[in-house]
């Protein structure tokens, strides 16, 4: 059976809390602590597992936080290849301010990985990947990681007959030279690569179509917050509105989007269905507090209900069925 294999170069132990109000120069009393495995690819693996896919997570792990990260991943029933590294795994911290209903997210940079440690990650990818797999490279790169890291990973996947999906802000230019199956960008990243602000959806769609035509890329996925998303390919472009929900936390929503997309594409769905499935996975995670990911039944319900929504009738928040 084909698998979704995730490669995370800079994973994190995600810690989230709630507090009455975030104020400067004061000791803040926190409650509702949560600790979950995190980092782009790790979250993609967690989400894809919840959606019923066979998954494997490949990531570096160092120190006590690395041990905790690996243990939490294994507790979720996710197969993994944890590459032992010298430096400690980073943490990421999120605080929810109940007074303002704002979320404050702090991401540490992580530690530099040595050449042999980076090589071990890529070697694990090469030994595990098989024809028909989908390999997802996701998240930031550790400090001083060579810019061609994702390009090297994409080359390995391609040589094995797998499809490489990339969701990152580091090393994407080099990876595009190598060639990708799918690249995912959000609205801030879209303006950065375009060099200007693009009106949604017309200018964004035009840019996306041209981008796919002029790069070694099969699909470009763009997400635009409350405006929804689109998938551009050489055969055209499909768009879908976001699914309006009451937001509890944004942690993991983008990774859930990628997981929903890849799971749907792997089972043979068309781009329109895959986009709807990805947006439903993101919306379901937005509804969950802290670092908690979605409930799979909620994704199915939201995906079905998404067919009923349009931008004109999406003003009222979605109320989950109980």
pLDDT confidence band for 218 (50 / 70 / 90) = very high
Q: Is there a contact between 117 and 146 (Cβ–Cβ < 8 Å)?
A: no
Out of 14, 36, 255, 271, the active site residue is 255
Instruction: Give the pTM.
Output: 0.93
pLDDT confidence band for 314 (50 / 70 / 90) = very low
pLDDT confidence band for 312 (50 / 70 / 90) = very low
Residue 320 has pLDDT above 90, yes or no: no
Identify the H or E element spanning 248: none
Q: Report the DSSP pairing between strands 90-97 and 102-107.
A: antiparallel
| DSSP β-bridge partners for residue 31 | 18
Q: What is the mean pLDDT of residues 94-100?
A: 96
| Higher pLDDT pick, 194 / 55 | 55
- Contact residues for 173 (Cβ-Cβ < 8 A; gap 6+): 147
Residue 255 annotated to the active site:
yes
- Whole-number Cα distances in Å, 156 to 132, 150, 152, 159: 13, 10, 6, 5
């Amino acid at each position: 059976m084909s698998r979704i294999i995730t490669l995370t170069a800079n994973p994190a132990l995600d810690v989230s809390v709630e507090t009455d109000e975030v104020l400067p120069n004061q000791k803040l009393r926190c409650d509702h602590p949560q600790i979950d495995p995190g980092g782009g690819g790790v979250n993609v693996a967690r989400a894809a597992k919840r959606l019923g896919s066979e998954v494997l997570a490949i990531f570096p792990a160092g120190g006590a936080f690395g041990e905790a990260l690996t243990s939490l991943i294994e507790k979720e029933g996710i197969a993994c290849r944890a590459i032992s590294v010298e430096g400690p795994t980073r943490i990421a911290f999120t605080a929810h301010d109940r007074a303002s209903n704002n979320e404050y997210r702090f991401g540490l940079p992580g530690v530099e990985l040595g050449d042999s440690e980076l090589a071990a990650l890529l070697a694990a990818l090469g030994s595990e990947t098989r024809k028909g797999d989908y390999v997802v490279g996701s998240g930031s790169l550790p400090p001083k990681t060579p810019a061609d890291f994702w390009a090297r990973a994409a080359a390995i996947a391609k040589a094995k007959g797998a499809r490489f999906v990339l969701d990152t802000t580091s090393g994407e230019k080099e990876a595009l030279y190598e060639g990708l199956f799918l690249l995912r960008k959000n609205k801030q990243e879209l303006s950065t690569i375009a060099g200007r602000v693009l009106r949604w959806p017309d200018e964004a769609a035009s840019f996306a179509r041209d981008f796919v035509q002029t790069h070694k890329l099969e699909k470009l996925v763009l997400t635009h917050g409350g405006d929804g998303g689109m998938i551009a390919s050489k055969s055209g472009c499909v768009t879908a509105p976001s699914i309006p929900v009451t937001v509890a936390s944004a942690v993991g929503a983008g990774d859930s989007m990628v997981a929903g997309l890849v799971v749907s594409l792997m089972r043979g769905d068309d781009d329109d269905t895959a986009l709807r499935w990805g947006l439903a996975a993101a919306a379901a995670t937005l509804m969950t507090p802290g670092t908690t990911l979605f409930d799979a039944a909620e994704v199915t319900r939201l995906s079905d209900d998404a067919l009923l929504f349009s931008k004109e009738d999406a003003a009222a928040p979605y109320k989950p069925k109980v």
